[in-house]
């Protein structure tokens, strides 16, 4: 097979991913081989490829990135019963977990300290084929195309988890800061709760996307008055966005962070809450797929040939991607 391989981190503009022949894949016990049909391009892929997370991530080099994948099962390892050759399945960032810690046993496997991450600790989907743990693949509904389904396996489940933690109810107001690959799905998920959604982004293009997807109104940063909304969900990668979120929520309000940023000073008298959010569990992943199959959630996508992964990352970095780039072998 061929794959886009990262051997040395570097700026996306310098094309650090190399189009290479890679060894034929053989599934181990409990594993499957998937022929990749579509792979979403995440901003975290960009961070990893450019070396922002070294030395811890990626876990090894060379590595194949990509963690939101749709493909066809082509081979089964020993003991695999829940999927069959020919099944169309998806893979999300959680490649596997230990299965027996307190987190795994209480539906919080996304917090497992022994979790393996697709494209970061295991080779991912920037390839014509990939290995996956059969316990962590998901059937893709027939109503969804390969390209529109792929982003559900990272932005979709990430948006779902963040909206759930915001604890929204009908009539409340929520601000979504950052309208991109994840943010455009957060807007849709938040609307399903009955809350009024307000988008905050500097980009005129993304402001238009937000209103297209049902935001009551979109704003530039600093345009919303103080203490306007009940909750804020942050997917804009900046400390300024976190500060803005704390400013615009009411006393007793809640900020959900989907990005790793510094939280500045807080007035404890306002009793505001800040909570992090990462992905979700397997049951929630299935619920996301059901929502999309029912037409209640959609991903806005821009396809790129797999061999042009460097271009997709460069366009993402430059803000030229409207919502989600998707690589197609």
Helix H or strand E encompassing 130:
strand 129-133
What are the helix (H) ranges across 41-110? 43-49, 102-105
Domains in the chain, start-ordered, CATH in brackets?
2-154+279-328 (3.90.180.10), 157-276 (3.40.50.720)
Q: What pLDDT sits at residue 319? A: 86
* Separation in Å, CA 153 to CA 89, 91, 278, 285, 300: 11, 6, 13, 7, 14
Q: What is the rounded CA–CA span in Å between residue 259 and residue 263?
A: 11
Say how many Å lie between the first and final Cα of the chain, rounded.
11
- Tell me, what's the pLDDT at 325? 95
In this structure, what token pair is assigned to residue 99?
């299965």
Rg (Cα) of the chain, in Å, rounded?
A: 19
The rounded distance, in Å, linking the Cα atoms of 279 and 107 is 12
Q: Contact 180/244 with Cβ under 8 angstroms?
A: no
155 and 40 Cβ atoms separated by less than 8 Å:
yes
Give me the pLDDT at residue 133, please: 97
List, for the chain, all residue ranges whose pLDDT scores fall below the cut of 70. Answer: none
Supply the angle between the helices 183-192 and 204-212 in degrees, to the nearest 10: 30
36: left (phi over 0), alpha (psi -120 to 50) or beta: beta
Q: What pLDDT sits at residue 322? A: 85
């Amino acid at each position: 097979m061929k794959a886009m391989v990262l051997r040395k981190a570097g700026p996306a503009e310098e094309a650090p991913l190399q189009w290479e022949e890679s060894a034929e894949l053989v599934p181990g016990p409990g594993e499957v081989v998937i022929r990749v049909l579509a792979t979403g391009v995440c901003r975290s892929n960009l961070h990893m490829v450019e070396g922002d997370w070294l030395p811890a991530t990626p876990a090894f080099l060379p590595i194949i990135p990509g963690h939101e994948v749709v493909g066809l099962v082509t081979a089964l390892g020993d003991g695999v019963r829940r999927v069959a050759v020919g099944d169309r399945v998806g893979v999300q960032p959680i490649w596997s977990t230990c299965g027996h810690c307190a987190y795994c046993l209480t539906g919080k496997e996304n917090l497992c300290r022994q979790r393996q991450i697709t494209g970061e600790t295991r080779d991912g989907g920037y390839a014509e084929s990939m290995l996956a743990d059969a316990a962590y693949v998901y059937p893709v509904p027939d109503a969804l195309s390969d390209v529109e389904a792929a982003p559900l396996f990272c932005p979709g489940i990430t948006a779902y988890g963040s909206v759930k933690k915001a604890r929204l109810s009908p009539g409340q107001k929520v601000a979504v800061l950052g309208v991109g690959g994840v943010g455009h799905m957060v807007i849709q998920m938040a609307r399903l709760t009955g809350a009024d959604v307000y988008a905050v982004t500097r980009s005129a293009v993304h402001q238009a996307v937000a209103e297209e997807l049902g935001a009551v109104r979109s704003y530039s940063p600093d345009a919303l008055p103080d203490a306007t909304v009940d909750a804020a969900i942050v997917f804009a990668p900046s400390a300024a966005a976190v500060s803005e979120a704390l400013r615009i929520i009411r006393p007793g309000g809640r900020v959900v962070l989907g990005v790793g940023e510094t939280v500045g000073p807080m007035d404890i008298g306002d009793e505001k809450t800040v909570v992090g959010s990462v992905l979700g569990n397997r049951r929630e992943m299935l619920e996301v797929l059901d929502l999309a199959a029912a037409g209640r959630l959609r991903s806005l996508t821009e396809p790129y040939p797999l061999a042009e992964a460097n271009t997709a990352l460069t366009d993402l970095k430059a803000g030229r991607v409207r919502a989600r780039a998707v690589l197609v072998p």
